[in-house]
Structure 1
Amino acid sequence: MLNITLVAGARPNFMKIAPIIHAIDRQKGLGIDIDFRLVHTGQHYDHKMSGDFFEQLNIPNPNANLEAGGGSQAEQTAAIMIGFEKELLSNKPDVVLVVGDVTSTLACSITAKKLMVPVVHVEGGIRSGDLSMPEEINRIVTDSITDHFFTTSELANENLKTSGVESHRIHFVGNTMIDTLFSQMPRFRKPEGDIYDKLYSQSYFMLTLHRPANVDEEVKLKAMMEAILEGTGSLSVVFPVHPRTAKVLKNLGIENDRLHYVEPLSYLEFNYLVKHSKGVITDSGGITEEASVMNVPCLTLRDNTERPETIELGTNELVGTDPSKLKPYLERMLSGQWKQYQQIPLWDGNTSDRIVKILLEIYAN
Structure 2
Amino acid sequence: MQAPYRIMLLFGTRAEALKLAPLIKAMRTAPDTWQPVIVVAPQQAQQGVLNQTLKYLQVTPDFDLAQTNGQKGAAVEELSGLLHNLNNVVDAGQPDLLLVVGDAVTSLAASLVGFYHHLPIGHVEAGLRTYDKASPFPDEMHRRLTDDLADLYFAPTTRARDNLLAEHHPAKQIYVTGNTAIDMVKDSLQEEFTSPILSQIPADQRLLLLTMARPESVGEPMRQVFHTMRDIVETNPDVDLIYPVMPHPDVLAMAEKILGNNDRIHLIEPLDHRSFLNLAARSALIITDSGSVQEEAPALHKPVLLLREKTERQEAVEGGAVKIVGKDPTSIQQAVFELLNNHRVYRQMAAAENPFGDGQASQRILRIIKKYLSQK
Return the TM-score normalized by structure 2. Answer: 0.88
> Structure 1 residue 277 and structure 2 residue 283: aligned?
yes
Separation in structure 2 between the aligned mates of residue 266 and residue 346 of structure 1, nearest angstrom: 22
Residue of structure 1 aligned with 2:89, choices 87, 90, 108:
87
8 Å CA contact retained: 1:43, 1:104: no
Match of residue 206 from structure 1: 209
Give the secondary-structure state (helix, strand or coil) at the position aligned to 1:98: strand
Query: One-letter code of the match for 1:74?
Result: V
Query: One-letter code of the match for 2:76?
Result: A
Q: Which deviates further from its counterpart, 288-297 or 258-267?
A: 258-267
Shift of the 275–329 alpha-carbon distance from structure 1 to 2, 3 Å rule, reads same
Match of residue 226 from structure 1: 227
> Structure 1 residue 292 and structure 2 residue 295: aligned?
no
Match of residue 16 from structure 1: 19
Separation in structure 1 between the aligned mates of residue 143 and residue 199 of structure 2, nearest angstrom: 41
Match of residue 350 from structure 2: 340
Moved over 3 A (4+): 43-48, 187-191, 341-346
Residue of structure 2 aligned with 1:160, choices 164, 171, 177:
164
Shift of the 225–13 alpha-carbon distance from structure 1 to 2, 3 Å rule, reads same
Return the TM-score normalized by structure 1. Answer: 0.90
Residue of structure 2 aligned with 1:106, choices 105, 108, 131:
108
Unmatched tracts of structure 2, length 5 or more:
none
> Structure 1 residue 43 and structure 2 residue 53: aligned?
no
8 Å CA contact retained: 1:301, 1:319: yes
Give the secondary-structure state (helix, strand or coil) at the position aligned to 2:279: helix
Measured after TM superposition, the shift of residue 62 of structure 1 is 1.1
Shift of the 259–158 alpha-carbon distance from structure 1 to 2, 3 Å rule, reads same
Match of residue 55 from structure 1: 55
Measured after TM superposition, the shift of residue 302 of structure 1 is 0.7
Separation in structure 2 between the aligned mates of residue 340 and residue 289 of structure 1, nearest angstrom: 13
Measured after TM superposition, the shift of residue 191 of structure 1 is 3.4
Match of residue 363 from structure 2: 353
Separation in structure 1 between the aligned mates of residue 246 and residue 172 of structure 2, nearest angstrom: 40
Query: One-letter code of the match for 1:270?
Result: F
Separation in structure 2 between the aligned mates of residue 242 and residue 293 of structure 1, nearest angstrom: 24
Percent of aligned positions that are identical: 29
Match of residue 363 from structure 1: 373
8 Å CA contact retained: 2:298, 2:353: no
Separation in structure 1 between the aligned mates of residue 254 and residue 28 of structure 2, nearest angstrom: 48
Shift of the 5–180 alpha-carbon distance from structure 1 to 2, 3 Å rule, reads same
Match of residue 125 from structure 1: 127
* Root-mean-square deviation (Å): 2.2
Separation in structure 1 between the aligned mates of residue 170 and residue 189 of structure 2, nearest angstrom: 37
- The alignment covers a number of residue pairs equal to 356
Separation in structure 2 between the aligned mates of residue 113 and residue 315 of structure 1, nearest angstrom: 38
Separation in structure 2 between the aligned mates of residue 231 and residue 259 of structure 1, nearest angstrom: 11
> Structure 1 residue 66 and structure 2 residue 72: aligned?
no
Shift of the 54–187 alpha-carbon distance from structure 1 to 2, 3 Å rule, reads farther
Give the secondary-structure state (helix, strand or coil) at the position aligned to 1:206: strand
8 Å CA contact retained: 1:8, 1:98: yes
Shift of the 119–161 alpha-carbon distance from structure 1 to 2, 3 Å rule, reads same
Separation in structure 2 between the aligned mates of residue 282 and residue 13 of structure 1, nearest angstrom: 18
8 Å CA contact retained: 1:48, 1:264: no
1:120-160: CA deviation from partner (whole Å, max 9, x where unpaired): 10001101233222111211111111111001111111111
Residue of structure 2 aligned with 1:316, choices 296, 303, 322:
322
Query: One-letter code of the match for 2:110?
Result: C
Match of residue 331 from structure 1: 337
Separation in structure 1 between the aligned mates of residue 243 and residue 189 of structure 2, nearest angstrom: 21
Match of residue 250 from structure 1: 253
Measured after TM superposition, the shift of residue 213 of structure 1 is 3.9
Match of residue 177 from structure 1: 181
Query: One-letter code of the match for 1:164?
Result: H
Measured after TM superposition, the shift of residue 91 of structure 1 is 1.6
8 Å CA contact retained: 1:314, 1:344: no
Separation in structure 2 between the aligned mates of residue 264 and residue 279 of structure 1, nearest angstrom: 18
Separation in structure 2 between the aligned mates of residue 157 and residue 98 of structure 1, nearest angstrom: 17
8 Å CA contact retained: 1:188, 1:268: no
Match of residue 145 from structure 2: 141
Measured after TM superposition, the shift of residue 256 of structure 1 is 4.6
Shift of the 78–277 alpha-carbon distance from structure 1 to 2, 3 Å rule, reads same
Shift of the 9–260 alpha-carbon distance from structure 1 to 2, 3 Å rule, reads same
Separation in structure 1 between the aligned mates of residue 191 and residue 146 of structure 2, nearest angstrom: 34
Measured after TM superposition, the shift of residue 188 of structure 1 is 8.1
